[in-house]
Structure 1
Amino acid sequence: MRVLFVEDDAMNRRVVKDMLTIVGVMMEEAADAETGLQMIEIDRFDAILMDLRMPGMDGLTAVRHIRARPDDKARTPIIVITADTRFDLRADCLAHGANEVLGKPVAMEALFDALGDTLAANGDLMI
């Protein structure tokens, strides 16, 4: 399984990569949304983990770009990982096309559960 994590904080990327490595998931990294969108253009991922607050393009805008694609990459499962604590955040992310929302710091069990549930709901492999 290959996952793309779009996150501007290198330490957050490292922590999630270490978690995913434990179960054999390969993770690619993008430090900003624009780079993430370029990577999606040229490669295929089983799931995308997306931060919301990044310099330049924010995560919700990136999610909308992915969902607007004319190809099957538009259906790639997207899990938002954010430190944002707004009461309406989950509903807002789901309305913009995210499949799931996790808070930071993300717990390993929550990450694995979200990936497994999201991929199962999408008809894809489970971890």
Structure 2
Amino acid sequence: MMQVLFVDDNAMNRTVVKSMLAAADVPMVEASNAEIGLALIEASNFDVILMDYRMPGVDGLAAIRSIRARSDAKARLPIIMITADDGPGLRAEALAAGASDLLHKPVQMQPLFDAIARTMAETEQDAGILV
């Protein structure tokens, strides 16, 4: 069964996404900041990471760079950045940091599921696994 980690400092955002995923019987683990999220990634196995862009302390871009710098298979986890920002170049900045995709808040169910499916398929293809 797929397991998702959602790192976002806003509890309401986590609650909304958790209910969307629950509708599809997808379990979600929550982290209220990047430091907790990175510790959870170290201790557990996830199939997809949803990462907020702006958080106090370590922001989403720095957290993604940290994950991508790992020397194990977790470095290749699909990571979908989620943001309320819409500045020019944001998508390019997120992808350059190592994000697999970018979604804008408020998160909608179908685009979320589409992004998860797409990034997981790309990760499997990159690993040489036939989908």
Q: How far apart are 1:110 and its partner, in Å?
A: 0.4
CA-to-partner distance for each residue in 1:64-117, whole Å, 9 max, x for gaps? 000001110000000001001111000100011000000000111100000011
Unpaired segments ≥5 residues, structure 2: 126-131
Question: Is the aligned partner of 1:98 residue 2:99?
Answer: yes
Aligned to 1:75: 76
**Which residue in the other structure is 1:58 paired with?**
59
Superimposed CA distance per residue, residues 39-87 of structure 1 (whole angstroms, 9 cap, x where no aligned partner):
0011110000000111110000000000001110000000001001111
Letter in 2 for 1:96: A
Residue 114 (structure 1) aligns with: 115
**1:123 Cα shift?**
1.4
Letter in 2 for 1:47: V
The answer for the alignment partner of 1:38 in structure 2 is 39
Give percent identity, aligned residues only: 59
TM (norm. structure 2) is 0.93
Q: How many residue pairs were aligned?
A: 124
Structure 2 partner of 1:48: 49
Q: Write the distance in 1 (CA, Å) between the matches of 2:101 and 2:87.
A: 15
Tell me how far 1:121 sits from its aligned partner.
1.1
Cα distance in 2 for residues equivalent to 1:79 and 1:42: 20
Aligned partners of 2:24, 2:124: CA distance in 1, in Å? 20
Unpaired runs of 5+ in structure 1? none
Q: Name the CA distance, whole Å, in 2 between partners of 1:70 and 1:123.
A: 18
Measure the CA separation in 2 of the matches of 1:56 and 1:44: 24
Amino acid at match of 2:55: M
| 1:22, distance to aligned residue in structure 2 (A) | 0.8
Structure 2 Cα separation of the partners of residues 121 and 40 of structure 1: 20
Write the distance in 2 (CA, Å) between the matches of 1:87 and 1:103: 13
